[in-house]
Amino acid sequence: MNYAVSRNANPQPLGSTVVAKFGGTSVADYDAMNRSADVVLSNPNVRLVVLSASAGITNLLVELAQGKDAERRVFLLDEIRRIQSAIIDCLNKPDVIREEIGRMLENISMLSEAASLATSTALTDELVSHGELMSTLLFVEILRERNVAAEWFDVRKVMRTNEHFGKAEPDTTALSELALQQLQPRIQEALVVTQGFIGAEAKGRTTTLGRGGSDYTAALLGEALSVARVDIWTDVPGIYTTDPRVVPAAKRIDRITFEEAAEMATFGAKVLHPATLLPAVRRGIPVFVGSSKDPAAGGTLVCNTTVNPPLFRALALRRKQTLVTLHSLSMLHSHGFLAEVFGILARHNVSVDLITTSEVSVALTLDTTGSTSSGASLLTTSLLTELSSLCRVEVEENLALIALIGNKLSQASGVGKEVFGVLDPFNIRMICYGASSYNLCFLVPGNDADQVITTLHRNLFE
C-alpha cells in the first residue's frame, strides 16, 4: 500500500522511464496477471504497461471474424466469456468490471453476427481488438485492488496507422506528437496501462499491427517517449541459442546486439516480433527480455554493442514456408523479367522473402506467417494465373526455413563445411548466403526441420 503512495508522490524523470510489455501467457488468468503486477510494482521506473490479450482470446476472436454459424458463434463466445469471467470471479469488487466486460462481449457478439453475413479485414480488426481492450481493463482493476493509482488508456488515441487492416503500418510522426501530448503527462501522474497490437487509421477505424504486434507497440511508444528501456515479459527467460522446446540443451544469451536479435526475430525466433526492434534501434533504446513466471531467472539484454561477438550466435526456424520457382527461356539475356515478376507480386500484396536465380529460372520463398487475417493462402488463383501467363510456375509447400545467425559469417572461412558437412542425410532445397554477414539461410522439408536444428545445434553450440 505504501508502495503505491511512494511511486506516485515522486514521479520519476521521463529519462528513466521503462515501458513493460506482457504477452498473452503473462495475462492468461488471475494468477498470471498478479505475477505480472508484481513485476510492474517491483520497479518504480515502470510507468507504462502494454498488454496483449489473455492467452487464447485472439484465436477465438479471429475465428469469430471468419463468419461462423450461430451454434459455433455461441460456443466461441462462451469460451471467451469463460476465460475472462475466471479472472473477474477472483476480484474483491467484481461488479463494475463485470458490467464493462459484459458490454465488450455484447459488442463481440454483434460484430461476429455481422461477420457471419459478410466478412472484411476492417471488421476482423475491430473484432479482434477486443482481446486487448478486455485484458487491459482487467489488469487495471487488479492494480487498483492493490491501491495503485493505475489509469486505463486507449492506445488508439495515439497509435495512428495506415488502412492496411490486418498488418497496419504506424505513422511514427503522428504517433510521436500524440504520445507527447496525451501519454507523457499521464505517465508522470499515474501508472498507465494500454493495449498492444491495435491502432486506428485516420478516420478512426480500428486497425491491428499483425500477430505479435504488442512488442512492436511497446517499442514504438518507447521511441515516441524517449524512454530508458523497453522490457518484454514473456513465458521464457530471455533469448536462447535456439528454441528450447526443440533443443532442450539450448543456452540463454545474456547480451545480444540489435542486429543479431533482429535477424533472429525476422527468421522465426518467436521471443520477439520481427519489427519490434526497429523503433528501439532508431533511438538506441535497450530491450530486455525476461519471464514473468520467473523474473528472478534473469533474461537477455538487447543493446547496441556486445564484447567479442561470436561467429555463430543462434539458430532460428520458420515453418510453413512456400517455394515458388518460375521457369522461362525468355529470361535468358532479357531485360525486365524480374521487374515484371515483382510487379505482379506487388499488385497482389505478396512480399518476397528469399530469392535465388539461374539463367532460366528464379526461385522465391514466401512467408505465410504475420497478418491477423492470415490463414488463407498467399498464392491466390488470380496471382498464379498472372504468373503463368509470363512463365511456368512450380509451387512447393510445407518447407522450413533454417537461419544460422552470426557475425561476419561471409568473411569467415570454413563456414560452409561446418554447417553443411553435418547435414549429409538431409535434402537442402535452397541456400541464401552472402547478402548479409549476419545470416546463412536454407530451406529443408518441413518434416526434417527439428532434426536439422538439433544436429546443427549439437555441432555448433554444444
If asked whether residues 212 and 70 sit together in one domain, one would say: yes
Residue 4 pLDDT grade (very low, low, confident, very high; cuts 50, 70, 90) = very low
If asked whether residues 224 and 340 sit together in one domain, one would say: no
Out of 211, 233, 255, pick the residue that ends a domain.
233
Q: Is 234 annotated for ligand binding?
A: yes
Query: Which region among 273-282, 335-344, 419-428 has the lowest average model confidence (pLDDT)?
Result: 273-282
Higher pLDDT, 19 or 6: 19
Residue 263 pLDDT grade (very low, low, confident, very high; cuts 50, 70, 90) = confident
Highest mean pLDDT among 44-58, 251-265, 367-381: 44-58
Q: How far apart are CA 189 and CA 325, in angstroms?
A: 57
Q: Is 245 annotated for ligand binding?
A: yes
Q: Is 21 annotated for ligand binding?
A: yes
pLDDT at 5: 32
Per cent of the chain over pLDDT 90 is: 72
Q: Which residues, at least 6 apart from 45, have a Cβ–Cβ distance to it below 8 Å?
A: 12, 16, 17, 18, 228
Q: Is 235 annotated for ligand binding?
A: yes
Higher pLDDT, 1 or 125: 125
Highest mean pLDDT among 149-153, 281-285, 293-297, 425-429: 149-153
List the one residue out of 252, 264, 238 whose CA is nearest residue 403: 264
Give the CATH number of the domain where residue 379 resides. Answer: 3.30.2130.10
pLDDT at 353: 86
Q: Is 132 annotated for ligand binding?
A: yes
What is this structure's pTM?
0.82
Reply yes or no on whether the pLDDT at 9 is more than 70.
no
pLDDT at 274: 64
Does 39 fall in a domain? yes
Higher pLDDT, 274 or 23: 23
If asked whether residues 338 and 227 sit together in one domain, one would say: no
Phi, psi at 313, each rounded to 5°: -105, -45
Residue 374 pLDDT grade (very low, low, confident, very high; cuts 50, 70, 90) = very low
Does 277 fall in a domain? no
pLDDT tens, residue by residue, 149-186: 999 999 999 999 999 999 999 999 999 999 999 999 99
pLDDT at 376: 55
Tell me which residue range forms the domain holding 392. 310-459
Q: Is 102 annotated for ligand binding?
A: no
Q: Is 276 annotated for ligand binding?
A: no
> What's the Cα-to-Cα distance from 442 to each of 247, 259, 263, 419, rounded to whole Å?
19, 19, 14, 11
If asked whether residues 226 and 316 sit together in one domain, one would say: no
Q: Is 271 annotated for ligand binding?
A: yes
List the one residue out of 145, 234, 164 whose CA is nearest residue 196: 234
Specify the pairing of strand 312-327 against strand 191-195. unpaired
List the one residue out of 460, 396, 390 whose CA is nearest residue 422: 460
pLDDT tens, residue by residue, 78-127: 999 999 999 999 999 999 999 999 999 999 999 999 999 999 999 999 99
Give the CATH number of the domain where residue 176 resides. Answer: 3.40.1160.10
If asked whether residues 81 and 228 sit together in one domain, one would say: yes
Query: Which region among 9-13, 108-112, 248-252 has the lowest average model confidence (pLDDT)?
Result: 9-13
Out of 201, 233, 265, pick the residue that ends a domain.
233
If asked whether residues 335 and 451 sit together in one domain, one would say: yes
Residue 333 pLDDT grade (very low, low, confident, very high; cuts 50, 70, 90) = low
The count of structural domains within the chain is: 2
If asked whether residues 199 and 337 sit together in one domain, one would say: no
pLDDT at 368: 60
pLDDT at 359: 81
If asked whether residues 95 and 221 sit together in one domain, one would say: yes
Q: Is 438 annotated for ligand binding?
A: no
Residue 71 pLDDT grade (very low, low, confident, very high; cuts 50, 70, 90) = very high
Higher pLDDT, 156 or 308: 156
If asked whether residues 210 and 317 sit together in one domain, one would say: no
If asked whether residues 52 and 195 sit together in one domain, one would say: yes
Q: How far apart are CA 382 and CA 258, in angstroms?
A: 39
Does 286 fall in a domain? no
Does 225 fall in a domain? yes
Higher pLDDT, 196 or 9: 196
Residues forming a β-bridge with 200: 160, 206
If asked whether residues 225 and 124 sit together in one domain, one would say: yes
Phi, psi at 118, each rounded to 5°: -160, 125
Does 388 fall in a domain? yes
Does 434 fall in a domain? yes
- For residue 32, give the C-alpha cell: 498470471
Q: Is 417 annotated for ligand binding?
A: no
Does 61 fall in a domain? yes
pLDDT at 81: 97
Out of 210, 233, 256, pick the residue that ends a domain.
233
Highest mean pLDDT among 5-9, 28-32, 408-412: 28-32
Q: Is 141 annotated for ligand binding?
A: no
SS (HEC) of the chain: CHHHHHHHHCCCCHHHCEEEEECHHHHCCHHHHHHHHHHHHCCCCEEEEEECCCCCHHHHHHHHHCCCCHHHHHHHHHHHHHHHHHHHCCCCCCHHHHHHHHHHHHHHHHHHHHHHHCCCHHHHHHHHCHHHHHHHHHHHHHHHCCCCCEEECCHHHCCEECCCCCCCCECHHHHHHHHHHHHHHHHHHCEEEEECCEEECCCCCEEECCCCHHHHHHHHHHHHHCCCEEEEEECCCCEECCCCCCCCCCCEECEEEHHHHHHHHHCCCCCCCCCCHHHHHHHCCCEEEEECCCHHHCEEEEECCCCCCCCEEEEEEEEEEEEEEEECHHHCCCCCHHHHHHHHHHHCCCCCCCEEECCCEEEEEEECCCCCCECECCCCHHHHHHHHCCCEEEEEEEEEEEEEEECCHHHCCCHHHHHHHHHCCCCCCEEEECCCCCEEEEEEEHHHHHHHHHHHHHHHHC
If asked whether residues 322 and 174 sit together in one domain, one would say: no
Mean pLDDT of 405-420: 91
Does 365 fall in a domain? yes
Q: Which residues, at least 6 apart from 292, have a Cβ–Cβ distance to it below 8 Å?
A: 22, 25, 26, 32, 35, 36, 39, 233, 234, 235
Q: Is 24 annotated for ligand binding?
A: yes
